[in-house]
Amino acid sequence: MKRNLVFVLLLTLFGTGASAQLKVGKLLKAGGNLISAVTLTDADIAEMSKSAVEKMDQENQVDTSDYHRRLQRLTENISVDGLKLNFKVYLTKDVNAFACGDGSVRVYSALMDTMSDSELMAIIGHEIGHVARTDTKDALKNAYLRSAAQNAAGSVSGSVAARLSESQLAELANSLAQAQYSQKQEYDADEYGFEFCLKNNVDPYAMYHALDKLADMSKTNRNNASAIVKAFATHPDSYKRAQRMKEKADALQH
């Protein structure tokens, strides 16, 4: 059953022609990791996320001064059911943030420069929303499946993370930082971020203001945009997302 499911997924990746099916057949013979990719557990995802984030932590300059202290002050009392959160700031010109299945949340200093405290909290809530709604899990799982297919890794012994090559780990790390979600997933994460703000006594208009800023940035910085800005550039109704959050905040005032 698992093998048949892998076969169907690989046909989706490589096509249905005779040559594609031959390639898929060879990959199935070689790749025990292809089967494990389909059956990844939440623990596997958390382990892979942890390994990918550790690699990113090593490759980025992690702030331990002003940015770190600001983020620590904002997040020291927040909690999310089922996740033990840990936060770090990357010193970079990219405007971005992401959260992972192991509870790691990484915020880029350029985003912190752009956002007020309340807006930054809204973005953090939005990113945690992608984890809570399994968007990040699905993105990482798909990235692992593609990597396993391309590399045809044959070993099935040891943990999932232990089987990753350096190049595969780099691919997964990139998939976390540069993840692109569907329009519905972004809307749902907005909703989560809005409720996150309310739960943590953050200005209910914070999500509206943050989304509005990012939508503005996507118009002026399209060609050299960071991941979070590109997401707005590729979704034509970005301002509608912001307006929806404003309407929700307005409703609380009545």
Distance CA 249, CA 254 (A): 10
Radius of gyration of the chain (CA): 20
**Closest by Cα among 56, 94, 57 to 173:** 56
Active site residue 166: no
Distance CA 4, CA 60 (A): 40
Where is 137: in which H helix or E strand?
A: helix 135-151
Sign of the CA dihedral running 150, 155, 157, 163: negative
Residues 6+ apart with CB under 8 A from 19: none
- Count CB-CB contacts under 10 A for residue 5: 13
Residue tagged active-site, from 47, 127, 171, 186:
127
Which residue(s) pair with 80 in the sheet? 83
Helix runs in 76-116, H state only: 109-114
> Count of residues for the chain?
254
Residues 6+ apart with CB under 8 A from 249: 194, 204, 205, 207, 208
Q: Which residues are catalytic?
A: 127
